[in-house]
Amino acid sequence: MRSSIRTSLRVGGNRGRRRHLSDPGRWSSPSNCRDSNVTKKVSLAFRDAYQKVNNAPTTDAFSAYSFDGWLVLVDAAKRALAKAQPGTPEFRQAFKEAMITTNEVVGTPWRLHFQAG
């Protein structure tokens, strides 16, 4: 077993949810990932954006996970905008549906999938 898996973060618990493991090495040193790794491009973009804004490298996973949250919001907003105008009840419903049907959004350490429930 790789050492990075042993230091992974488990999210979700055991009550009917999928368990997720996050490999901290992907966001902390994405240049070490293979070019074929789907998260490498996003992780490098995050690292560069963080460095540009803060004039320092990231030192924790929380900033990377916040970046992933932003990616999910942008994805859901794009899909909701295709169905309704912002500020309307229809848009709010479309945005809610878009959030809970998020699928295959590539984040810094993983692909994000949501489901209602």
At 31 the pLDDT is 64
- Which range (21-25, 42-46, 68-72, 97-101) has the least confidence? 21-25
C-alpha distance from residue 99 to each of 40, 50, 102 (Å): 24, 25, 5
Domains along the chain with CATH numbers:
3-112 (3.40.50.2300)
How many Cα neighbours within 13 Å face the side chain of 24?
13
Q: What is the pLDDT of residues 18-54, one digit of tens each?
A: 544 455 545 556 666 777 777 888 888 898 999 999 9
Do residues 22 and 5 make contact, with C-beta atoms less than 8 angstroms apart?
no
Do residues 50 and 42 make contact, with C-beta atoms less than 8 angstroms apart?
no
At 1 the pLDDT is 38
At 110 the pLDDT is 78
Task: Give the model's confidence band at 63: pLDDT under 50 very low, under 70 low, under 90 confident, else very high.
Answer: confident
